[in-house]
Amino acid sequence: MSSSPSLPVQEESQSEADLLMRLFPGGGEMGQRIRELDWSATLLGPVRGWPQCLRTAVSIMLGSRFPMMVHWGPQLVHFYNDGYATILQGKHPGALGQPAEPWWREMWPFLQGIFASVLAGQATYFENQLVLPNRQGFIEETYFNFSHSPIYNEAGTVGGIFVTALETTSTVLQQRRLALLSHLTSQTALSVQPAEATQHIISALSTNADDIPFALLYTHEEGTTQAQLRAWFGLPAGEPTAPTIIALSPPANSNLGWPVGAVLQQGRPLLVASLQERFGVWPTGEWPEAPTRALLLPLFVGEANSGPATILIVGLSARRPLDEAYHTFFSLVADYAGRALARARAVHEAQRLNHVLRNMNASLDSFVHIVAHDLKSPATNLQGLLELYYEEEPGSAQDHIVTLLEQEVQRLSNTVRGLLQVLHTQYEAAAPATGTIAWAEVYATVEAEVTELLHQQQGTLTADFGAAPTIRYPQAYLESIMRNLVYNALKYRSPERAPVIQVQSRRQGQMVELKVTDNGRGIDLARDRDRLFQPFTRLTTEGEGAGLGLHLISTLVHRRGGTLDVASTLGAGTTFTVILPEEPTAVPSF
């Protein structure tokens, strides 16, 4: 391209600095850097030797606020403006005046194809293109809209490349992460079991392995000292990186393993770095580089945070910095996952309560039917005895009828009393107060009540509470359980020998076991086990009682998470075993 006749003379009379100032007067920081750079020490040489097309391209670039770069010459020497300097990050300002290779060595195979096409005269355009630069000390996952256009020199050949670029990384990542959150919501929307919800959560997270290369979900049941793995992806379960059980107490070396206990104690997210140092060789994921960091996220499930505590461990991408957007994303993941678990637990609890209510209604219907049937007999007997009473003349016959009437009234009274006790146990509004109760105290009360009956039967009642002298439980319930079991042993005594009854207690972890053993007639469990604890069940016509004792005990025990079992041998005796969970010690409020 020809220049005006005065221009070379004017340039010859100017210093390099003055010429740079005249050619590139503005341009912000990069204009200043271009003016200050010693171009004679670069591949392009002094600015007075630059062709006009290059000067024009650089001037246009500096005058734009849109990110732009110019590559010039066979070595594609860099020029760029302030907008592009932001994109370069760690490559700025060193890239100015330097050839494209080795500054873009990590992307050279990708760029070579583009440069060859443009140098042949073909412009290019890319939208949301994945680009993997090393501008912060690691290969980074980024996305750009960019174009490359040829710059023609005065000879009509391509002398350089004009680049315009706009980074879209935040937009692409945001869309990808919002898609995961949407998927997480839809996956867990119909979960009706907490276990099902945990699987759906992990399944949703696995759809975005670029942001979350692996995930582990652990739960911790109250009263235990370990957390259990419930769902996972990206790591093999049972290996050191994903153990099935994690002890909450920290190991001797706190830099080993997952610090789940610390997260539960602190109740906030915890960043774990240097995974290879903690666990050894770490498997790679979507990228060639293995993850080096993970976040431990406590999931808050419901206002009361009921149910087991839950910890979600998520791996961090080796090709993304843990910036504010990444932090926000994981906060939303924890929030969505916590809500999904809370919803599943609420649905599960509602279903459980509905099931209990249906059973209670069915039980109540059965109870009413049994009551009506059981009260019909004494009522009919009373009516018949009253008719006989009025038909008899005063005397011994009438007195005998009065005795029969008194016995029938007592039987009816005992039945009604038993029914009321069962109803009170099943439908009471509040349980009796809980305290630390000595078994010996409960035994003394029951022993006093059965002393006369034991004397009449020449029986023996002994106790041994050495293995578990106390229990935290409502005293009234303990007395009712022991009383009914002892009376039951006396009722079903063997006609061939005097009754011998043994009562003892012992501990089983967090539970307390009560055993009542007798030498009575025994029970045919193959025949009677299914109906043994049903109301109004009497296995013999001898003795008194409405058949409500064992039903009452079963109700008391099971309502508080305990168990009731029986072992028996016909003709030898029976042992009832009651397992009672201790009530927790009350924590005073201030």
Please give the average per-residue pLDDT across 65-81, as a whole number.
Answer: 95
* 16-170 and 189-250+257-347, same CATH topology: yes
The Cα angle at residue 221 between residues 219 and 224, in degrees rounded to 5: 120
Of 60-74, 122-136, 364-378, 554-568, which range is least confident?
Answer: 364-378
Between 145 and 2, residue with greater pLDDT: 145
pLDDT digits (tens, 9 = 90+) for 553-588: 777 787 778 888 889 888 899 998 999 888 644 333
Give the CATH class of 431-581. alpha beta
Q: Is the pLDDT of residue 8 over 60?
A: no
Please tell me which residue, 475 or 210, carries the higher pLDDT value: 210
Measured between alpha carbons, how far is 574 from 58 in angstroms, rounded to an integer? Answer: 101
For residue range 187-242, list pLDDT tens digits in order: 887 777 888 889 999 999 999 999 999 999 999 988 889 999 999 999 999 999 99
pLDDT score for 589: 29
- The pLDDT value given to residue 463: 93
Position 371 pLDDT exceeds 60: no
- Residue at 172: amino acid letter: V
What was the pLDDT predicted at 165? 96
- For 254, the token pair is 């706190």
Model confidence pLDDT, tens digit, residues 133-186: 998 889 999 999 999 999 999 999 999 999 999 999 999 999 999 999 999 988
Decide yes or no: CATH 3.30.420.40 for domain 189-250+257-347. Answer: no
Mean pLDDT over each residue of the chain, to the nearest integer: 83
Residues paired with 220 in a beta bridge = 309
Q: Among residues 216, 278, 288, 223, which one has the least CA distance to residue 253? A: 278
Residue 497 pLDDT class (50, 70, 90 cuts)? very high
Which helix (H) or strand (E) segment is 315 a member of? strand 309-315
pLDDT value at residue 343 = 86
Topology annotation, domain 16-170: Beta-Lactamase (3.30.450)
CB neighbour class for 210 (10 Å; exposed up to 12, middle 13-18, buried from 19): middle
pLDDT digits 0-9 by tens, 374-409: 565 566 667 777 777 777 778 777 777 777 777 667
Task: For the chain, give the longest Cα–Cα distance.
Answer: 157
**Which pLDDT score, from 0 to 100, does residue 549 have?**
62
* pLDDT-based confidence at residue 47 (cuts at 50, 70, 90): very high
pLDDT computed for residue 255 by the predictor = 76
Angle at 148 between CA 144 and CA 150, to 5 degrees: 175
- Using N-to-C axis directions, what is the helix angle for 439-457 and 475-491, rounded to 10°? 20
The percent of residues in the chain predicted with pLDDT above 70, rounded, is: 83
Lowest mean pLDDT: which of 50-54, 289-293, 528-532? 528-532
Q: Where is pLDDT greater, at 476 or 171?
A: 171
Domain boundaries along the sequence of the chain:
16-170, 189-250+257-347, 431-581
**pLDDT(349) > 90:** no
Q: Which one has a higher pLDDT value, 286 or 418?
A: 286
